[in-house]
A = this chain, B = another copy of it.
Amino acid sequence: MTIEAATGESRITALCALSQQVRELMDATALTDVPEDELEAITADVAALTARLRAVARETPQPFEFAPDGTLRHLGNAVTGAANPHALPLVVTSDGESVRAELSFRPLHEGPPGSVHGGISAMILDHVLGQAVVVAGFAGMTASLSVNYRKPVPYGVPLVATGAFTRKEGRKTWVEGRIALTDGTVLVEATGLFVTPAAWLGE
Contact = CB atoms under 8 A, between A and B. Distances in A.
A67 interface: no
A66 to B, nearest CB: 15
Most chain B Cβ neighbours within 10 Å, of A19, A26, A28, A30: A30
Contact of A145 (B34, B77, B83, B146): B146
A165 to B, nearest CB: 18
Contacts of A119: 78-79, 122-127
Interface in A140-157: 141-149
B24 A47 contact: yes
Interface string A19-56: 10110111011111111101110110111011011111
B78 A109 contact: yes
Contact of A146 (B49, B84, B126, B144): B144
A101 interface: no
Contact of A57 (B33, B39, B85): B33
Contact of A113 (B24, B34, B63, B114): B63
Give chain A's interface residue range (CB within 8 Å of chain B).
35 or more
Contact of A78 (B39, B55, B111): B111
A56 to B, nearest CB: 4
Contacts of A55: 34, 38
A120 interface: yes
Given A143-B149, A146-B146, A85 B30 contact: yes
B49 A25 contact: yes
B126 A118 contact: yes
A15 B32 contact: yes
A56 B64 CA distance: 40
Contact of A53 (B15, B32, B61, B127): B32
Interface of A: 10-11, 14-15, 17-19, 21-22, 24-26, 28-36, 38-40, 42-43, 45-47, 49-50, 52-64, 76-79, 81, 83-86, 107-111, 113-114, 116-120, 122-127, 130, 141-149
